[in-house]
Amino acid sequence: MRRTRGVVAIGLVLALWLVGCRERASRTYAIKGRVVAVAANRQSVTLAHEEIPGYMKAMTMPFPVKDPRVLEGIEPGDEVEGELVVTEEEGWIARLRVLRKGEPQPLDQSKAMPIEYLLNPGDDVPDITLVDQEGRTFRLGDWRGRTIALTFIFTRCPFPNFCPLMSRRFVEAQEALRRRRPEWLEGDRVRFLTLSFDPEYDTPAVLKAYGERWNADFRHWTFATSPVAEMARFGASFGLSFWTEGGTINHNLATAVIRPDGKLQKVFRGNEWTALDLVQEIEAATR
């Protein structure tokens, strides 16, 4: 009996400790803004939100919702306030209420870089001149003969479901490929490439420090950037669009795999893909 009570007591202490860890790992912020769109499956809401003090400047972006009931009665155009919960790995809207009903308004993307064209699998990927985390200039075409996995970020992006998630997925993919195909990495047959569209801030030194924070193996994973106009034209090939508004950068997400012959293998848009999805496309392109 005493042993049973002891086990129960230990279990209770452990449970309380785990709850405390979860609470310490998450942060909750008040969020206020206008609803731009509500996903049909009611699992995300796009908000043109005001500045979130201590966390994020005002911008327009989609936020995940774990409980669809949070979006009950929420419609485009509504002015709302609520709570944003953020951990190291994800963020979501936990509460939302209508302050004032409103009419839907078109999303102002007048400052967005235009998407001039989109590549399809098998199309030639355009070349671009880049500067890496060591300050070295190179062209993407210099890597012909290798499979390239590339994604787009800016290092100041704070929301864990966006740029940090792209970096996390690359970490996972790099480790998965090291387990599955170590000879491809050691033989320099596969390269990971993270491109910043914020060259004014993301200097080589900043990119190197960012890569080090993610424990990037610079032998196989390069961080680079180029002038904004060139990056916009190149990114448009994959469906990337970004623009500056309210002192910050609004953007969508695009990740791609390029075959050794320089042709497009696959584009992942958004963040609904996994590291395994990426590795499988790398494997399909490299064989």
Provide the pLDDT confidence category of residue 216 given band limits of 50, 70 and 90. Answer: very high
**The predicted structure's pLDDT at residue 154:** 95
Residue 71 parent element (H or E) = none
What tens digit of pLDDT does each residue of 60-87 get?
888 889 999 999 999 999 999 999 999 9
What's the topology of domain 27-100?
OB fold (Dihydrolipoamide Acetyltransferase, E2P) (2.40.50)
Q: What percent of the chain has pLDDT over 90?
A: 66
At residue 214 the predicted structure's pLDDT band, cuts being 50, 70 and 90, is: very high
Domain ranges of the chain: 27-100, 129-286
pLDDT band at residue 22 under the 50/70/90 scheme? very low
Whole-number pLDDT of residue 7: 46
Percent of the chain with pLDDT over 70: 86
Question: How high is the pLDDT of residue 23?
Answer: 43
Residue 11: pLDDT band (50, 70, 90) is: low
Question: Looking at domain 129-286, does it have CATH number 3.40.30.10?
Answer: yes
The predicted structure's pLDDT at residue 195: 98
Q: Is residue 1 over pLDDT 90?
A: no
Supply the pLDDT for residue 31: 96
Burial 73-90, CB ≥16 within 10 A → b, else e: ebebebebebebebeeee
pLDDT tens digit sequence for 155-205? 999 889 999 999 999 999 999 999 999 999 999 999 999 999 999 999 999
Count of H-run helices and E-run strands, the chain: 6, 14
Residue 20 has pLDDT above 70, yes or no: no
Report the chain's mean pLDDT, rounded to a whole number: 87
Q: How far apart are CA 152 and CA 154, in angstroms?
A: 7
- Residue 40: the pLDDT is 82
pLDDT tens-digit profile of 86-141? Answer: 998 889 999 999 999 988 776 555 544 444 558 999 999 999 999 999 999 999 99
Grade residue 39 by pLDDT with cuts at 50, 70 and 90: confident
Mean pLDDT of 45-51: 89
Residue 220 has a pLDDT of 95
Residue 13's pLDDT band, with cuts at 50, 70 and 90, is very low
**What's the confidence (pLDDT) of residue 212?**
97
- State the pLDDT at residue 113: 47
231-262 burial by CB neighbour count: b if 16+ within 10 A, else e? bbbbbbbbbbbbbebeebbbbbbbbbbbbbeb
Nearest C-alpha neighbor of 277 from the set 256, 263, 252, 259: 256
CA 81, 85, 89 angle in degrees (round to 5)?
A: 145
pLDDT at 106: 63
Is the full-model pTM beyond 0.85? no
> Distance between CA atoms of 157 and 154, rounded to whole angstroms?
6
